[in-house]
Amino acid sequence: MHFAIRYLTEYRYREPVTDNLNALRVKPATTPCQRVDDFAVRVEPETRLTQHLDYYGTTVIEFGISKPHEQLAIDVRARVVTTPAAPPPEADWEPAVTAEYAAHGGEYLLAFGAEPDDIAIDELVGLSRAATPAATLQAVTELIPDRFEYRPGVTYVGSTVEDLLTAGAGVCQDFAHLALVLLRRHGVAARYVSGYLFAPPAGDEGADSAEVDTHAWIEALIPAAEGEPVWVAADPTNRGLAGERHVKIGHGRHYSDVPPIKGVYRGGATAELEASVRMTRTDTASRTAPAAG
Amino acid sequence: MPDGYDEVFAEPGRPREHAVALAAALAELGPDALSNAGRMRDSIFMQQGITFDAGGPDADGPVRDRPFPLDLIPRIIPAAEWTDIKRGLAQRIRALNAFVDDVYHAREIVHAGIVPWELIVSRSAFARAAHGIRPPGGVYCHVSGCDLVRDADGSWKVLEDNVRTPSGISYVLENRVAMTRVLPGLFSSYRVRPVDHYPALLRGALTEVAPTTADEDATVVVWTPGPFNSAYFEHAFLARQMGVELVEASDLVVRDATCYIRTTNGLQRVHAIYRRIDDAFMDPLEFRPDSLLGVPGLMRAYRAGTVAIVNAVGTGVADDKAVYPHVPEMIRFYLNEEPILQNVQTYLMADADERHAALARLGELVVKPVDESGGKGVFIGPTASDQQIAIQADEIRRRPERWIAQELVRLSTCPTASPEGELVARHVDLRPFAVFGEDIHIVPGGLTRVALREGSMIVNSSQGGGSKDTWVLEDDAGETTRAAAPAAAWSPPELPGLRQGGEWSGQQQQQQQT
């Protein structure tokens, strides 16, 4: 699928602030099933942007605005082409307990910080164990939305898996974190993925354009009967494997390794945030704006 | 005399050759004079503000100042012995430095099968933000303070490495000054190598690694977390001695990948930062997002190579206690040399076989948490009750990866003055300080720490330890003391006045993914 993505973030401060420094992880990744045709970031007030790849290979765009200002706008535009991923390999558990698998999985096999020592986790691990790693991944992505309600406003950006267990509800970030804990408990390497998901609202599934949010899902390292294991993307918020509608930015062990926007500024004023992500299909027949190409 | 090695007496009443003159001088002095000298020392230290936070084992307690307890009996190291120590330390520091570089680049030591990757990436001090960054000259461990102990057979061993922000050098310098004032007579029979050139060595190293252009003078600063830090005295001391500015985070600002100090005359470029603050609190954009203590953007400037950070970011991965058992292999791997200084026999509790063996004889071993320092959480089997042993065993079974066990080293003893001026044997260790710029320089001696309680082997000053002036003797060949230490020839530059920086906002700009 072809998408035009526009991710607009606006901060308004009650009083002028200075030295507003931000790090953006918003650029779609280039992967075997994803191509970036165009990418641009504009910041208002205007400033110099620098770019580097972080430890996980995610593009980080950084900038700072030193002069006093009362508004900050970050305007990100991207054009991306996605293709479906190959079906996940099928293999039993045996190749997932080898040294080669561990070498591939690396730190995505290890617990991230202090993971919850909770009987509820043990139960979910037991319920999601299946005959193969691929079937276990499927079970995890179905079990989580079965057990937990998707409800914004219950958790916040810094919420833990324990918060999700306590509240019984959360958002994609929380679902992804729980899926990672479960998969790692099964011995399956798993990583947090940040990106964009094309998801038109219910009742208008055929729409070419949709107002969305940045989205989080996971990738699990699924062993193959022959050859190397494969990272398979799955979306525990949407009960299944991730596909062409998922546009990946980057991955890490946890949200904190790939936050879309992270910033601090000097000044006592509080900030009001308005953020929006609009995704538009640019490859559908009903497209009416030829100039857009 | 307890069994074990005594630094002064080869056997009761018979001093070692290098200590004969010292023993005679002490005998002549007598307990009353020694006790009086102790009172003079305390009043000098209190007057000069040379104090230590005696908050006790739980460092969260209120700060209570007391004079830093300098024991008046010096510890003497003969020249030949020091030569070996110095060579061994320089070798070890080169290997640790090579390891840090390797960890953040090719990880050859992992590919060679010597250090497991799991160990590296699971260290709390492993700094992903430092990945791929090579500081000027490839030097990471600019200042190190490895802890040495002398075992019962007289051999020196490395007890712990310390390549983050080791403290104690200010006491080395102040102890020497105090000793020459309080007991000048003790020096009359010895030619003791000076230590007062340390600030010049440190400043030299900072200047060497500072990324300046040809016609530019390096601006160097000391970064302290502030007056509430237990080592604040030392931060201020070093800044003053080096003639550089002592700054806090709010004095620094990063603009366009360059770090500046805020002065009354505007911004002034900073080239090198001697930071006495943990990685986690350096840059809220890269490390802890909940921390507003740092300088946002500092990692950007560091990555761009416009500022040297001393010690480099991420060095803590090398002095982690679970990495320590691998240091002898690092020396062989990176330097192709045999280690000069040996490790203490250490067992990783994460290893099932080593754990079982250690749990069976916990009462004989020392157990330490891998990611603590300053003697926190250390368990000493031989002095623990059965109940304490059982509790420790449970802790190890619960989180084995958090612990290492070590054979108990019977630390050497050194005669130490009791409050009444009597000489009593107390256990000591040694923390020599090394400075790595273009080359490695080690200040003669270092901080000898002494456990003031009888029989105790915990020497940490936060846990009731004291210190001793440490004398490295000039070579017998008669090589004379360097007449003018570089510090004497060098005068501090004029300092820019500091302007108070505004506060960073507590508002973190982050968005939840939904």
- Residues in B closer than 8 angstroms to A176, CB to CB, are 513
Min mean pLDDT across A18-27, A176-185, B59-68 is at B59-68
What is the phi/psi pair of residue A146, to 5°? -65, -40
Cβ of residue B129 closer than 8 Å to a chain A Cβ: yes
Q: What is the pLDDT of residue B504?
A: 53
Contacts of B10 (CB under 8 A, 6+ apart): B16
Neighboring chain A residues of B256 at a CB cutoff of 8 Å: 48, 64
- pTM, full prediction: 0.90
- The mean per-residue pLDDT over the stretch B258-269 comes to 94
Confidence of residue B188 (pLDDT cuts 50, 70, 90): very high
Are the CB atoms for B445 and B473 separated by under 8 Å? no
Distance from CA of A203 to the nearest CA of B (A): 20
Average pLDDT score over chain B? 88
Q: What pLDDT does residue B289 have?
A: 60
| pLDDT score for B52 | 64
Cβ atoms B269, B219 nearer than 8 A: yes
> Do the Cβ atoms of B507 and A216 come within 8 Å?
no
The pair of structure tokens assigned to B472 is 């490295």
Whether B359 maps to a domain, the answer reads no
CA distance A291 to chain B (A): 32
Q: Which among B122, B292, B513 has the least Cβ separation from residue A264?
A: B292
Tell me what pLDDT residue B59 has. 43
Q: Is B404 helix (H, G, I), strand (E, B) or coil?
A: strand
Q: Which residues of B fall within a CB distance of 8 Å from A155?
A: 512
Q: In this complex, do A54 and B128 lie within 8 Å of one another by their Cβ atoms?
A: yes
- Please indicate whether, in this complex, the C-beta atoms of A157 and B131 are within 8 angstroms of each other: no
Closest to B505 (Cβ–Cβ): which among A173, A215, A266? Answer: A266
Distance of alpha carbon B174 from the chain centroid: 16
pLDDT digits over A45-55, tens only?
999 999 999 99
Per-residue pLDDT for B492 more than 60?
A: no
3-class DSSP state of B423? strand
Residue A292 placed within a domain = no
B297 within some domain? yes
Contact A271 B253 (CB under 8 A): no
Type and span of the H or E element at A123: helix A119-128
Would you call B247 exposed, middle or buried from its count of C-beta atoms within 10 A (0-12, 13-18, 19+)?
A: buried
Say which of B117, B118, B285 has its CB closest to residue A23: B285
User: Which CATH number is A25's domain given?
Assistant: 2.60.40.2250
Q: What is the mean pLDDT of residues B446-475?
A: 88
Same-domain pairing of A104 and A243: yes
Instruction: Work out the angle between the directed axes of helices B198-209 and B169-182 (0-180°, nearest 10).
Output: 160
Q: CA of B450 to nearest chain A CA: how many angstroms apart?
A: 37
The answer to whether B431 touches B146, Cβ cutoff 8 Å, is yes
Phi-psi region at B240: left, alpha or beta (left = phi > 0; alpha = psi -120 to 50): alpha
Residues of B in contact with A255 (CB under 8 A): 513
B408 at interface of A, judged by CB pairs closer than 8 A: no
Quickly list DSSP for B388-400.
Answer: HHHHHHHHHHH-G
Q: Is B110 on the interface with A (CB under 8 A)?
A: no
> Are residues A238 and A165 both part of a single domain?
yes
Q: Is B514 part of the contact surface with chain A (CB cutoff 8 Å)?
A: yes
* A121 and A228 both lie in a single domain: yes
Could A156 and B509 be called an inter-chain contact, meaning their C-beta atoms sit closer than 8 Å? Answer: no
Asked if B131's CB is within 8 angstroms of A213's CB, the reply is: no
Average pLDDT of span B493-498: 45
Question: B219 with B267: CB under 8 angstroms?
Answer: no
Q: Which residues pair with A35 in a beta bridge?
A: A81
ipTM beyond 0.95? Answer: no
Tell me, yes or no, whether A125 lies in a domain: yes
Indicate the pLDDT class of residue B1, thresholds 50, 70 and 90.
Answer: very low
Residue A289 lies in a domain: no
Q: How far is CA A27 from CA A1, A78, A80, B141, B285, in A?
A: 17, 8, 10, 35, 18
Say whether both A75 and A108 belong to one domain: no
CA distance B218 to B259: 13
- Nearest-by-CA chain B residue for A269: B505
Of B2-11, B84-93, B340-349, the range with the lowest mean pLDDT is: B2-11
Encoded amino acid at B137, one letter:
G
Domain range for residue A33? 2-82+258-284
A89 pLDDT more than 90 = yes
A35 and A146 share one domain: no
Nearest chain A Cα to B121, which residue? A107
Cα separation, B258 vs B261, in Å, equals 10
Record: contact A260-B285, CB cut-off 8 A: no
How many contacts, defined by CB atoms under 8 Å, are there between A and B?
124
> In chain B, what residues touch A101 (CB-CB under 8 Å)?
none
Interface membership of B504 toward A (CB under 8 Å): yes
- Searching chain A, which residue's CA lies closest to the CA of residue B124? A113
CA distance A263 to B509: 5
Q: What is the pLDDT of residue B135?
A: 94
Q: pLDDT tens, B194-239?
A: 999 999 999 999 999 999 988 889 999 999 999 988 889 899 999 9
Q: Tens digit of pLDDT for each residue in B107-141?
A: 999 999 999 998 999 898 999 999 999 998 899 99
Q: What is the CATH number of the domain that holds A104?
A: 3.10.620.30
What is chain B's alpha carbon radius of gyration, rounded to the nearest angstrom? 23
B111 in contact with chain A, both atoms CB, cutoff 8 A: no
All residues of chain B having their beta carbon less than 8 Å from the beta carbon of residue A54 are: 128-129, 131
**pLDDT > 60? residue B55:** no
Per-residue confidence band for B100, with pLDDT thresholds at 50, 70 and 90: very high
Is residue B486 a part of any domain in this protein? no
Each residue of B364-389: pLDDT tens digit?
Answer: 999 999 877 667 788 999 989 999 99
Q: Are residues A111 and A233 in the same domain?
A: yes
Average pLDDT over residues B241-246: 96
Q: Is residue A290 part of a domain?
A: no
Measured CA to CA, the distance from residue B209 to residue B205 in angstroms comes to 6
Nearest to B502 among A260, A266, A270 (CB): A266
Using an 8 Å Cβ cutoff, are A217 and A235 in contact?
yes
Q: Say yes or no: B27 contacts chain A, CB-CB below 8 A.
A: no
- Nearest CB neighbour to B514, from listed A64, A172, A264: A172
Same-domain pairing of A245 and A105: yes
Distance from CA of A98 to the nearest CA of B (A): 15
Three-class DSSP category at B238: helix
Number of domains in chain B: 1
Same domain, A124 and A221: yes
What mean pLDDT do residues B421-439 have? 95
For residue A261, give the nearest of B253, B296, B509 by CB distance: B509
| Residue B380 phi, psi (nearest 5) | -115, 105
Predicted pLDDT at B285 = 86
Cβ contact A110–B510 (<8 Å): no
d(CA B378, CA B388) in angstroms, rounded, equals: 12
Q: Is position B314 within any domain?
A: yes
Q: Which two tokens stand for residue B199?
A: 């600030």
Task: Note whether A252 and A262 are same-domain residues.
Answer: no
| CA-to-CA separations, B184 to B25, B68, B189, in angstroms, rounded | 11, 20, 11
> What band does B43 get if pLDDT is binned at 50, 70 and 90?
confident
B431 assigned to some structural domain: yes
* For residues A250-269, average pLDDT: 91
Question: What is the predicted pLDDT for the residue at A203?
Answer: 86
CA atoms of A148 and A160, how far apart (whole Å) = 14
User: Looking at residues A17-46, what average pLDDT do you find?
Assistant: 96
B385 touching chain A per CB within 8 A:
no
Whether residue A37 contacts residue A45, with contact meaning beta carbons closer than 8 Å, is answered with: no
**Predicted local distance difference test score (pLDDT) of residue A206:** 87
Count of domains in chain A?
2
**A56: nearest CA in chain B?**
B128
Tell whether A142 and A76 lie within a shared domain: no
Q: Is residue B109 part of a domain?
A: yes
The shortest CB-CB distance from A264 to any of B285, B501, B502 is to: B285
Residues A107 and A195 in one domain: yes
Structure tokens at A30: 């280039």
Option in A21, A52, A216 nearest B285 (CB): A21
Query: B 303-332 residues with CB below 8 A of A?
Result: 303-304
Q: Are A57 and A179 in a shared domain? A: no
Which residues of chain B have a CB within 8 Å of the CB of A271?
Answer: 505, 507, 509
Helix (H, G, I), strand (E, B) or coil at B164: coil
For residue A65, give how far its alpha carbon lies from the nearest alpha carbon of chain B (Å): 8
Contact list in A for residue B507 (CB cut-off 8 A) is 264-265, 270-271
A139 is a domain residue: yes
Q: What pLDDT shows up at residue B508? A: 53
Q: Which of A7, A24, A1 is nearest to A80 (CA)?
A: A1
For residue A261, pLDDT beyond 90 = yes
Write out the residue range of the structural domain in which residue B191 sits: 9-344+409-479
Q: Which of residues 164-193 of B touch A (CB under 8 A)?
A: none
The per-residue pLDDT for A119 is 87
pLDDT tens-place string over residues A208-237 = 999 998 999 999 999 998 889 999 999 999
The confidence band for B433, taking pLDDT boundaries of 50, 70 and 90, is very high
